């Protein structure tokens, strides 16, 4: 079936678009391009286009939250095949300002959950056979 549209961007609301774009550029590559003080775009090499939009009065999502009013979505990043690669990515995202949200049972889940500096959840995933 022919598509109606072509995918353009995932847009994250945040208090400081350029700072958050720089965080994700350090995590996944690319160079932030500021269109103005309120809108910054990051094209991840061989990946999606992320955009960051200033939101006055921004409130970060809560993760986890049982009533369903917390996290609306999250980003997954392939951190490699080995636990050593995942451990290295873990240390690097922490140094960049990420905050751990769920590091339990990684062997059974093959992923770990973090919050970016603005509070959006994202996962570092260990991908087998990739």
Q: Are residues 63 and 14 in the same domain?
A: no
- Bridge partners of 99, per DSSP, are 115
Q: Are residues 50 and 70 in the same domain?
A: no
* Segments of the chain scoring below 70 in pLDDT: 65-72, 106-107, 129-130
Residue 20 belongs to domain spanning: 1-57
Position 70 scores a pLDDT of 56
Domain count, the chain: 2
Q: Which 3-state string (H, E, C) describes 37-51?
A: CCEEEEECCCCCEEE
Q: What's the pLDDT tens digit per position in 36-71?
A: 999 999 999 988 999 999 999 998 888 776 665 555
Q: Are residues 15 and 70 in the same domain?
A: no
Cα 26 to Cα 68: distance, rounded to the nearest angstrom: 31
The residues near 37 (Cβ < 8 Å, ≥ 6 apart) are: 17, 54
**With contact defined as beta carbons under 8 Å apart, do 53 and 14 qualify?**
yes
For residues 27, 47, 61, 32, the Cα torsion angle rounded to the nearest 10 degrees is 60
Position 55 scores a pLDDT of 94
Q: Are residues 52 and 74 in the same domain?
A: no
Its pTM stands at: 0.86
Q: Are residues 38 and 64 in the same domain?
A: no
Q: Are residues 121 and 79 in the same domain?
A: yes
Q: Are residues 79 and 51 in the same domain?
A: no
Q: Are residues 64 and 128 in the same domain?
A: yes
Alpha-carbon distances, residue 107 vs 52, 110, 112 (angstroms) = 33, 5, 10
């Amino acid at each position: 079936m022919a598509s109606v549209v072509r995918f353009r961007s995932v847009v994250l609301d945040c208090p400081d678009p350029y700072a958050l774009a720089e965080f994700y550029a350090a995590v996944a590559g690319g160079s932030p391009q500021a269109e103005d003080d309120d809108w910054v775009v990051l094209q991840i090499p061989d990946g999606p286009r992320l955009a960051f939009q200033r939101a006055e009065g921004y409130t970060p999502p809560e993760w986890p939250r049982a009533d369903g009013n917390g996290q609306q979505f999250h980003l997954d990043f392939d951190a490699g095949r080995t636990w050593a690669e995942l451990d290295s990515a873990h240390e690097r995202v922490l140094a960049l300002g990420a905050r751990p949200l769920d590091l339990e049972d990684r062997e059974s889940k093959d992923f770990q959950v973090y919050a970016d500096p603005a509070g959006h959840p994202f996962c570092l995933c260990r991908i087998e056979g990739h």
